[in-house]
């Protein structure tokens, strides 16, 4: 089937802008992001979806930083083995970070990419911001 596609159709859309969701420090230095809906996303995303994503992320980070029995055991074992255990075992935080990365990927695939948005894992920014990239909408039907 001879079908020509314009180059534009095949290219990744250009980045229109980026939105940064800042950390919420109201309860200390725990990793928590603001759930305030950025106005730039108003035209792209529902407020509920955004808040749900951020809230889930906050919960996951809280779980990562929680002082639970698992973290005590990990600390104790590390002391006992002169910290060599870190060579073979993944820390609790890292495990949760992997979970978060999977969650973000899942969210991107299901919710954000279809809307021309992309969530960036905050760990890449040092857990300071959640970066949401807004892509230009170059669809023909958009009437631009």
Residues 45-104 that bind another protein (CB under 8 A): 45-46, 64-67, 71-72, 74-75, 78-79, 82-83, 86, 91-94, 97, 101
Our CB check for another protein shows the closer of 1 and 69 to be: 69
Our CB check for another protein shows the closer of 88 and 143 to be: 143
Q: How far, in Å, CA of 99 to CA of 101, rounded?
A: 5
Among 77, 99, 110, 113, binds another protein (CB under 8 A): 113
Q: How far, in Å, CA of 5 to CA of 18, rounded?
A: 28
Our CB check for another protein shows the closer of 19 and 57 to be: 19
Count of positions on this chain that bind another protein (CB under 8 A): 72
- Using rule CB under 8 A, residue 21 touches another protein: yes
Among 2, 5, 88, 144, binds another protein (CB under 8 A): 144
Q: Which residues 6+ apart lie within 8 Å of 18 measured at CB?
A: 131, 132, 133, 134
Our CB check for another protein shows the closer of 56 and 89 to be: 89
Half-sphere exposure for 9 (CA within 13 Å, toward CB): 6
Nearest-CA neighbor of 14 among 134, 109, 96, 140?
A: 134
Q: How far, in Å, CA of 57 to CA of 33, rounded?
A: 8
């Amino acid at each position: 089937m001879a079908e020509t596609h314009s180059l534009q159709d095949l290219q990744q859309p250009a980045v229109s802008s980026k939105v940064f969701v800042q950390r919420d420090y109201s309860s200390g230095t725990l990793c928590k992001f603001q759930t305030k809906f950025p106005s730039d996303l108003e035209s792209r995303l529902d407020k509920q979806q955004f808040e749900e994503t951020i809230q889930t992320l906050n919960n996951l980070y809280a779980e990562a930083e929680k002082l639970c029995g698992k973290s005590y055991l990990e600390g104790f074992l590390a002391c006992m083995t002169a910290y060599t255990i870190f060579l073979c075992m993944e820390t609790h935080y890292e495990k949760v970070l992997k979970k978060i990365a999977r969650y973000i990927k899942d969210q991107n695939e299901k919710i954000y990419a279809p809307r021309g948005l992309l969530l960036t894992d905050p760990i890449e920014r040092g857990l300071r911001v959640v970066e949401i990239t807004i892509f230009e909408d170059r669809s023909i039907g958009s009437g631009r």
